[in-house]
Amino acid sequence: METIIKDKYGIAKMLSDLGIKEKNFGTSTGNEFFGSGNYFSSFSPTDGNLIAQINETTNEEYEIVLNKSQEANKILRDIPAPKRGEIIRQLGNKLREYKPALGKLVSYEMGKSLQEGLGEVQEMIDICDFAVGQSRQLYGLTMHSERPKHRMYEQWHPLGTVGVITSFNFPVAVWAWNAALAIVAGDTIVWKTSEKAPLCGFATQKIMAEVLLENNLPEGISSLVTGDYKIGEKMSNDKRIPLISATGSIRMGKLVAQKVAARLGKSLLELGGNNAIIVTPSSDLEMTLMAALFGAVGTAGQRCTSTRRLIIHDSIYDKLKNILIKAYGQLKIGNPLDENNHVGPIIDKTAVGLYQNAINKAIEEGGKVLCGNGIVKGPGFESECYVLPTIIEAENHYQIVQDETFAPILYLIKYSDLNEAIEMQNGVVQGLSSAIFTNEMREMETFLSPNGSDCGIANVNIGTSGAEIGGAFGGEKETGGGRESGSDAWKVYMRRQTNTINYSTELPLAQGIKFDISI
Which residues are part of the catalytic machinery? 270, 304
Strand 161-165 with 150-158, pairing: unpaired
Question: How far is 498 from 153, CA to CA, in rounded Å?
Answer: 6
7: number of Cβ within 10 Å: 10
Helix (H) and strand (E) counts for the chain? 14, 21
DSSP H or E run through 324: helix 317-328
Question: How far is 218 from 299, CA to CA, in rounded Å?
Answer: 37
SS3 309: strand
- In 242-272, which positions are buried (b, 16+ CB within 10 angstroms) versus exposed (e)? bbbbbbbebebbebbbebbeeeebbbbbbbb
Integer CA distances (angstroms), 17 to 29, 109, 172, 383, 390, in order: 21, 16, 17, 26, 38
Question: How far is 257 from 253, CA to CA, in rounded Å?
Answer: 6
518: Cβ–Cβ under 8 A, 6 or more apart, which residues? none
- In 136-173, which positions are buried (b, 16+ CB within 10 angstroms) versus exposed (e)? eebeeeeeeeebeeeeeeeebebbbbbbbbbbbbbbbb
- Residue 160 near residue 183, CB atoms below 8 Å: no
- In 29-45, which positions are buried (b, 16+ CB within 10 angstroms) versus exposed (e)? bbeebebebeebebbbb
Residue 191 pairs in a beta bridge with 164, 224
- Residue 179 near residue 164, CB atoms below 8 Å: yes
Q: What are phi and psi of 9, to 5 degrees?
A: -105, 20
SS3 51: strand
Integer CA distances (angstroms), 30 to 26, 150, 211, 221, in order: 12, 46, 10, 8
